[in-house]
Chain A
Amino acid sequence: MEINKKAYEAYVKQVTPVHKKWPGIIKAFLVGGIICTLGQYITTLFMNTGLEKEAASAWTTLVLIAATVILTGLNIYPKITKFGGAGALVPITGFANSVVAPAVEFKAEGQVFGIGCKIFTIAGPVILYGILSSWILGVIAYVLKAFQML
């Protein structure tokens, strides 16, 4: 082939259409904003029943996760993400969707090797590196505290 791979890569980039940036950002802001507002609303509802702030937050998380599980099962959540992009991927609902979807998909392969092994295929890296990075930050905080710098 006469043209080299680098030139081809640049050429492909030029002929491949991409999503427009600003409409994507606005939609993400909208959807992400709605999910967070909803979360705040639920938290306030729980606090009005007399719950402490921390307990109310925990209950809110559970409600949002449960709602996502149902919306994933009804094939509605993928549509929300298709519209809202990162606005629907980043909140806890996006994380819940990434756990439920493989569970539903791999059910046919059994409880152990299907759901058991594959439920975290998408969320696994987030969990692993989330824990790792919080551990690293914890060590840093510990060292800083030891030298009375924090």
Chain B
Amino acid sequence: MQIGKASIRFEEPPIIESMASIVGKKEGQGPLGKLFDVVEQDDMFGSDNWEKAESALQKQTADLAIEKGDIRKKDIRYLFAGDLLGQLIATSFGTVDLEIPLFGLFGACSTMGEALNLGAMTVAGGYADKVMAMASSHFATAEKQFRFPLGYGNQRPFSASWTVTGCGAVVLTKHRKEGIAAITGITTGRMVDMGIKDSMNMGAAMAPAAFHTIQQNFDDFQVDESYYDKIITGDLGQVGRTILLDFMKNKGHDLEKIHTDCGIEIFNSNDQDTHAGGSGCGCAASTLCSYILPKVQSGTWKRVLFVPTGALLSTVSFNEGETIPGIAHAVVIENIGNL
């Protein structure tokens, strides 16, 4: 059912049937290290270049999600997947062997939110019994495309984030009474541009978008922060979190205790030299499939608002003096017992 301006409440919520997360070595050494399904020690994933490595990462994660759920590949009707690279190279090459009809998505680091929004709509609408949603990022491919070659020495500011090498995949299935968790609603974000031009401060570029989407979710569902056990943004990092909490406070919402951020959870910024936190589509996706969903499944959290955030940074528009607009998509994820 359409509610408010940008949200849907699912009368028959799609169910997350299976999940998988694979990350790189550095992520494995972080606070969530033990929770991931696989920590790959070889950042090249057995390939001879970084782009192939990220493709291999997607392939392995998709296969693992299928295997863990004991699902037949041919039963998955659509795949909603994306990454950070031009022409979605990691996705387009990584998903060839899956032979599942693909919608390739680009939402920068918000891609997992976009994939879950579309996947849930497709399943709830009756257009597919099963779909897969997946997003990945790789530190080396992202550095190469957006910043500097790995061997180039420079100093990163404290507001900079560290792109996560990781991938998360979930299989959504039509409504039933068993599974990991249910997607009961979504709020789709719009572009928000507050004029930020500093590519080393993506948190500041994305925080207004996260604020806007969360506020829209509250308005559309006619709820406030007390409705959720946790509100989890994608990769705002420390700077973005400060801004989001300030903005929310101005609107009378105190998110201090219930807000967390995948980028802050995934690394220990003091020991791992990651500055503001983790980022990339793989950050929100792998944290969802290792940390958030198990907590919802066990009932520690009954209802969470998962809000992956994206900064639409392009090296072309950046060099042309353009700003970095942000976007955030929200997904309401609930314990099956709530249904």
Contact = CB atoms under 8 A, between A and B. Distances in A.
Contacts of B239: 12, 15-17
Given A12-B196, A108-B50, A101 B159 contact: no
A82 B153 contact: yes
B49 interface: yes
Interface centre among B154, B195, B196, B246 (most CB of A within 10 A): B154
A100 B48 CA distance: 19
Contacts of B153: 77-82, 88-89, 94, 97, 101
Nearest to A105: B149
B158 interface: yes
B106 to A, nearest CB: 22
B289 to A, nearest CB: 29
A1 B149 CA distance: 37
Interface string A1-41: 10001101101100111110000000000000000000000
Contacts, number: 90
A73 B149 CA distance: 12
B68 interface: no
A105 B155 contact: no
A108 B49 contact: yes
B194 interface: yes
Given A15-B242, A16-B204, A100 B151 contact: yes
B158 A97 contact: no
A46 interface: no
A122 B194 contact: no
Interface string B46-58: 0011100000000
Interface centre among A8, A11, A79, A102 (most CB of B within 10 A): A8
A72 interface: yes
Interface in B162-198: 192, 194-196
B28 interface: no
Nearest to B52: A108
Interface string B230-247: 000000000100110010
Contacts of A104: 149-151
A77 to B, nearest CB: 5
Contacts of B159: 16-17
A108 B49 CA distance: 6
A102 B152 CA distance: 8
Interface string A61-96: 000000000001101011111100100110000100
A1 B151 contact: no
B278 to A, nearest CB: 17
Nearest to A28: B155
Given A16-B239, A101-B151, A104-B149, A1 B204 contact: no
Interface centre among B49, B148, B192, B239 (most CB of A within 10 A): B148
A38 B246 CA distance: 50
A75 B153 CA distance: 9
Interface in B99-129: none
B172 to A, nearest CB: 33
A19 B158 CA distance: 7
A122 B149 CA distance: 9
Contacts of B242: 15
A109 B153 CA distance: 21
Given A16-B201, A108-B48, A8 B151 contact: no
Given A15-B239, A16-B204, A108-B50, A75 B151 contact: yes
A81 B155 contact: yes
Contact of A17 (B156, B158, B195, B212): B158
A8 B323 CA distance: 13
A135 B159 CA distance: 39
B158 A78 contact: no
A59 interface: no
A73 B239 CA distance: 34
A108 B47 CA distance: 11
B282 interface: no
Interface string B10-50: 00000000000000000000000000000000000000111
Nearest to A76: B153
Contacts of A100: 151
5 contacts: A5-B195, A8-B194, A15-B246, A81-B154, A101-B149
Given A8-B194, A16-B157, 5 more contacts: A81-B154, A85-B155, A97-B151, A100-B151, A108-B49
Q: Which 3 pairs between the two chains have the least Cβ-Cβ distance?
A: A81-B153, A105-B149, A5-B195
